[in-house]
Amino acid sequence: MSQYSLNLNLAPSRKIYSVSELNARIRDLLESEFQDIWVEGEISNFRAAPSGHYYFSLKDERAQIKCVCFKNNVRYLRFRPEDGLQVTARGQVSIYEARGEYQLYVEYLEPVGYGALQLAFEQLKAQLAEEGLFDPARKKPLPRLPRRIGLITSPRGAVIQDMIQILERRFSNMPLLLYPVSVQGEGSAGEIAGALGYFNRSREVDVIILARGGGSIEDLWSFNEEKVARAIYASKIPVIAAVGHETDFTIADFVADVRAPTPSAAAELVVESKEQLRAEIAGLEKSLLAATRHRLLEWRQQVQALATHRGFRLLETFVRDSSQRFDDLLARLSASLVERVRDERQRLEVAGARLAAFDWRGWLERLHLRLERRRNDVIRFTEVRLLRVRRELETAQMALDERNPLRILERGYAVCYDATGNVVRASADVTLGSEISVRLARGKLGARVERKE
């Protein structure tokens, strides 16, 4: 029995892990072994979470590994991952303990055989083209002679000096308004978009030049940012993009209303020289004068042809005959008016004689007698009417006196009121000890109820 117990004591001890402990141990091993590695593969099952994190898998022909790129690393990516894209990922391998899955935590991505910036450029270009930002139909024409030119560029460097010299040479008194911005580096895209917004709000310029000298794709990247492209698209003022050298193309060039190969070319493009304008105005003036002379000659010939036309001769005959008929009618009208005046004068003379012979005194006496009779009739009618009304009033007064309740009080009657002024009609309307008032034919009495029957 003791020998058996000894054998049990010599048995090896066991280390039992919980699931969490085991996953934590595996995580420590993976992170210490694969802390900073590069992995190449094809992206599949790509998903952008609402939180801003990217989830995808990297695979080759025989295996795959799950990957996650957190939001704080996503913002440094120059392109958007997509399924089927061959990339090289840098990060560390660890385990997601909640599901016991190991995965690659990506800190940096770059496409294989294709620059990250170039890929981002192509992706954004395709997206904006699909949205119609490059549509030629929406591009605005440049003003022929702008009142003021807006320039968005760095205040330092040769670009602004070259443009000022060219504008001074071509149109010496053309106003130029500079909005200084950073043309590369962190925050420069926001400054450029803000400058475009300012010019559109202030409406101080008729055309905007967006300019920068040459450089690498990294140096020109601010003009490939989506916020700059959308600011150009939203501009109500025409925008000329003059970024880099002639062989450089940016997203801003595709969205702008006009692309200039260089900033100097933009300065020459935005306004014609005074000499060209003067020569063109002189040529137009000469052409207008020649055209006016030619048109006057044509009209003179047309007038002469019309003057000799049979229709004009008939019109002349018609006017001549009409003038003669007018004279005839005028003579007849004059004779008719003279005769009419003579007749009216005779009628007036007859009427005057009758008026002179009229007996005005007798007429007035007859009129006075008629008025007197009418006055007497009105007086008699009024007296009879007043007598009738007086009798009706007396009768109504007698009837009113007979129905006057105060006359009843003259016979010894009285009216009793309670404290609220209501007429007391029965003993039940008042209580013992309550105040009452009594209305007599002449005066009132105050009383208290001592007894009720």
Domain count, the chain: 3
- Do residue 108 and residue 138 come from a single domain? no
Note the pLDDT of residue 302. 81
Q: Is the pLDDT of residue 45 over 70?
A: yes
Q: 49 and 140, same structural domain?
A: no
How does residue 4 score in pLDDT terms, banded at 50, 70 and 90? very low
CA distance 330 to 341: 16
Q: Sheet containing 415-417: which strands, arranged edge to edge?
A: 415-417, 435-439, 444-448
* Residue after which a domain boundary falls, among 222, 249, 272: 272
CB neighbours of residue 239 within 10 Å? 26
Per-residue pLDDT, averaged over 216-245, amounts to 86
CA gap 264, 163 in Å, rounded: 6
Q: Are both 99 and 140 inside the same structural domain?
A: no
Check if the beta carbon of residue 206 is closer than 8 Å to that of residue 237.
Answer: yes
**Domain annotation covers residue 123:** no
The pair of three-digit structure tokens given for residue 138, joined into one six-digit string: 């929406």
Residue 90 identity: R
The pLDDT value recorded for residue 76 is 78
Percent of the chain with pLDDT over 70: 93
152 & 267 share domain: yes
* pLDDT, mean of residues 344-369: 83
Residues 155 and 83 in one domain: no
CATH value at residue 26: 2.40.50.140
Q: Is the pTM of this model over 0.95?
A: no
Q: What is the DSSP letter of 453?
A: -
Same domain (yes/no): 109, 139: no
| Rounded Cα distance, 113 and 83, in Å | 16
Q: How confident is the model at residue 113 (pLDDT cuts 50, 70, 90)?
A: low
Query: Can you count the helices (H) and strands (E) in the chain?
Result: 13, 13
Asked which of 249, 272, 295 is the last residue of a domain, the reply is 272
Do 247 and 139 lie in a common domain? yes
At 293-327, the pLDDT tens digits run 888 888 888 887 777 777 666 777 777 778 778 87
pLDDT confidence of residue 279? 63
Structural domain span for residue 57:
19-114
In a domain, 140, yes or no: yes
Q: Can you tell me which residue has the tokens 């009417």?
A: 385
Same domain, 61 and 101: yes
pLDDT of residue 116: 64
C-beta separation of 197 from 181 below 8 A? no
Confirm if 199 and 237 have CB atoms less than 8 A apart: yes
Could you say which of 272, 302, 319 is where a domain stops?
A: 272
Query: How far is 453 from 432, CA to CA, in rounded Å?
Result: 11
Instruction: List the CATH number of the domain containing 155.
Output: 3.40.50.2300
Structural domain includes residue 374 = no
Shared-domain flag, residues 181 and 92: no
